């Protein structure tokens, strides 16, 4: 299965609920992060969760273990089913997120490599590979890997095996769904869907890539 994950980075509560509702039949999960949570409040998570789709918290949690635990407790209490963490703070920080996620029956994903050009400043020279080792060590459920660099997704897949890969960078950032979908478990798409005049139709256009 290659899921379609709607990245709902709008900053209005009503707009978010309208787009999510319209797209719900065409998507497999919703990801929200700081743009919507800061604009609408964390309560938006509970409202979106009512759609019955998995809801991923993209807060790229990156603190000491105790603070990560406190953040993740809020995330899962709010109704999310998964959290995304940064791996660079180290395995103990990731473990805090994994333990909180699993205690709530949820999942934890670790950013292994980012999709934008400047990401290569630090996500290079063996760092993503080391982050994949941390995913294995901590029991995290999968990684975030860039749809803008399919060859890197292939390389990281060889390291993480059957753990899940969620991949952003399709559409607005230039990633090609036909190329990336066979390599990953989830395509993360934001502007190409929520920025379209007809968001549901834009989401439906990804149907051929949802296996
Ligand atoms: O399709 P877009 O470009 O409008 O949105 C992509 C979303 O994925 C947006 O929410 C980004 O913050 C996020 N993202 C990336 O674009 N690149 C990354 O490397 C990582 C993420 C992400 O989701 O990290 C968890």
* Domain CATH code at residue 109: 3.20.20.70
What gap in Å lies between CA 109 and CA 166, rounded to an integer?
8
Domain span including residue 106: 3-209
Question: What are the tens digits of pLDDT across the range 104-158?
Answer: 999 999 999 999 999 999 999 999 999 999 999 999 999 999 999 999 999 999 9
Question: What are the tens digits of pLDDT across the range 24-59?
Answer: 999 999 999 999 999 999 999 999 999 999 999 999
Q: Does the annotation mark 163 as catalytic?
A: no
Q: Which residue positions form the known binding site for substrate?
A: 9, 31, 115, 190-191
Average pLDDT over residues 17-30: 98
SS3 165: strand
| Confidence at residue 116, expressed as pLDDT on a 0 to 100 scale | 98
Distance 4 CA to ligand 1 centre (A): 13
User: What does 62-120 look like in DSSP terms, one character per residue?
Assistant: -S-HHHHHHHHHHHHHTT-SEEEEESTT-HHHHHHHHHHHHHTT-EEEEE-S-SSGGGG
Average pLDDT over residues 61-79: 98
Mutate to test the pocket of ligand 1, among 7, 83, 146, 174 (most ligand atoms within 8 A of CB): 7
pTM higher than 0.95, yes or no?
yes
b/e map 144-155, b = 16+ CB within 10 Å: bbbbbbbebbee
Number of H helices, E strands in the chain: 10, 8
Ligand 1 binding site (Cβ under 6 Å of any ligand atom): 7, 9, 33, 58, 60, 84, 111, 114-115, 144, 146, 168-169, 171-173, 188-192
Distance 174 CA to ligand 1 centre (A): 12
Q: pLDDT-derived band of residue 23, with 50, 70 and 90 as boundaries? A: very high
Q: Does the annotation mark 63 as catalytic?
A: yes
Question: What are the tens digits of pLDDT across the range 90-100?
Answer: 999 999 999 99
Nearest CA to ligand 1 atom 14: 168
**ipTM topping 0.95:** yes
In this model, does residue 211 exceed pLDDT 80?
Answer: no
What gap in Å lies between CA 134 and CA 125, rounded to an integer?
16
Please give the tally of structural domains in the chain: 1
């Amino acid at each position: 299965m290659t899921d379609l994950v709607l990245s709902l980075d709008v900053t209005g509560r009503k707009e978010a609920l309208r787009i999510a509702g319209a797209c719900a039949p065409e998507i497999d999960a919703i990801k929200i992060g700081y743009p919507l949570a800061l604009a609408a409040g964390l309560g938006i998570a509970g409202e979106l969760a009512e759609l019955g789709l998995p809801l991923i918290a993209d807060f790229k949690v990156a603190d000491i273990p105790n603070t990560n635990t406190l953040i993740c407790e809020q995330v899962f209490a709010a109704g999310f089913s998964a959290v995304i963490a940064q791996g660079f703070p180290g395995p103990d920080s990731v473990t805090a997120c994994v333990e909180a996620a699993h205690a709530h029956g949820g999942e934890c994903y670790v950013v292994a490599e980012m999709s934008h050009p400047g990401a290569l400043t630090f996500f290079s020279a063996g760092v993503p590979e080391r982050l994949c080792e941390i995913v294995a060590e901590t029991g995290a459920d999968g990684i975030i890997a860039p749809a803008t660099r399919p060859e890197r997704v292939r390389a990281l897949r060889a390291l993480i095996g059957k753990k899940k890969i969620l991949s952003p960078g399709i559409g607005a950032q230039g990633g090609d769904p036909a190329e990336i979908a066979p390599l990953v478990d989830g395509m993360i798409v934001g502007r190409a869907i929520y920025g379209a005049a007809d968001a549901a139709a834009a989401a439906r256009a990804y149907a051929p890539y949802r296996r």
